[in-house]
Amino acid sequence: MLAWLRLVRLPNLATAVADPLAGFLICSGLTAVVWPPVPCWLAVVASLAFYAAGMMLNDVSDLALDRVERPERPLPSGAIPVAHAAVVGNLLLALGAAAACGAAVVAATPWPALVGAALTGAIWLYNQHAKGTVLGPAVMGGCRGLNWLLGMTAAGGPTTLPQWAIPVGMSLYVAGITFFAQDEAGQSRRTTLVAGMLLMVAGLATAAGSVWLPWLDGITRVATLPARSWLVCWGLLAVSILIRAGQAIQHPAPARVRAAVGNAIMAIITLDAVLVLAACGERWAVVVLALLAWFLLGRRLVPPT
């Protein structure tokens, strides 16, 4: 069982819950903590299935490389047969598409199904063609943005430019993480690490547009706090992420790079919670933030990268 949990990156599955949940909350404008409606849960199930499928099929396609660089992983070590992983991965991909279609039916909008189809295509494109190329980080980042859109479209959004800034910004942020992690198994190049960090900065600044764009138009409060206070909070969180990345750039040893990547992935949950704070208030932000427990406990069992 530990081998399967490692194959699907158990800790990171918490981020696959946080994204569509946050997207649904932001576009629905829920403030009272109530049980989310069925389209939200179907979007979460779709996201979990897509993420797990992507991780499995990623390791299937990386088998030859992992035999050299990461022989301890479940597939090259023989803990899980490759054929079994391929079958389960494709079944999970189908489950994700079915759940996305279910969300579309229940929400009476075709967009969740279309996003699910786009995610299916993006996962296939990354694992079969884009990985290891200059397009790889962009496709991986696109998967994260589509993950947000699963929840947003299930709630009828996004409907405004500030709402669109979130999936675009989180796509750039995850593209930066992917670029940063390109050589984590060996000796990373500083130029690659710096480029990855700059992409992360661009993503964080863009996602914050959900607040600073309305602020430019004179909207000075978000949910229960001033927009200026929210932007300070977001800035402090961004600095905490970038400090770890900067430490890896200064000393690009594999352990430091992996630590920075793991921290940047874990921070997705906190970033999602702070974005929910701006739209729905503290209570829902705490609910999303509680997913950190899943990540931290899961990390004690299996590594996130």
Distances (CA, A) of 294 to 41, 78, 126, 269, 299: 18, 27, 27, 10, 8
User: Which pLDDT score, from 0 to 100, does residue 65 have?
Assistant: 83
Q: Would you say 124 and 143 are in contact if contact means Cβ atoms under 8 Å apart?
A: no
Q: Integer distance in angstroms from the first to the last C-alpha of the chain? A: 18
CATH number of residue 90's parent domain: 1.10.357.140
Question: For 174-213, what is each residue's pLDDT tens digit?
Answer: 999 999 988 765 677 889 899 999 999 999 999 999 999 9
User: Which pLDDT score, from 0 to 100, does residue 151 have?
Assistant: 97
Distances (CA, A) of 95 to 22, 68, 121, 186: 21, 32, 14, 35
User: Which pLDDT score, from 0 to 100, does residue 159 have?
Assistant: 93
Domains of the chain: total: 1
Strand partners, 222: 225
Q: Supply the angle between the helices 161-180 and 13-28 in degrees, to the nearest 10.
A: 170
User: Which pLDDT score, from 0 to 100, does residue 184 have?
Assistant: 66
* Residue type present at position 121: G
Q: Whole-angstrom Cα distance, residue 231 to residue 148?
A: 21
User: Which pLDDT score, from 0 to 100, does residue 113 have?
Assistant: 97
Strand partners, 197: none
Q: Whole-angstrom Cα distance, residue 40 to residue 144?
A: 17
Listed as ranges, residues in the chain with pLDDT below 70 are: 184-186
Q: Which of 216, 195, 203 is nearest to 168 (CA)?
A: 203
User: Which pLDDT score, from 0 to 100, does residue 62 have?
Assistant: 86
CB proximity list for 196: less than 8 A, separation 6 or greater: 137, 176, 177, 178, 179, 180, 181, 182, 245
Q: Whole-angstrom Cα distance, residue 68 to residue 65?
A: 5
Domain of residue 39 covers 2-301
User: Which pLDDT score, from 0 to 100, does residue 153 have?
Assistant: 97
Where is 9: in which H helix or E strand?
none
pTM of the model: 0.93
Residue 112 φ/ψ, nearest 5 degrees = -60, -40
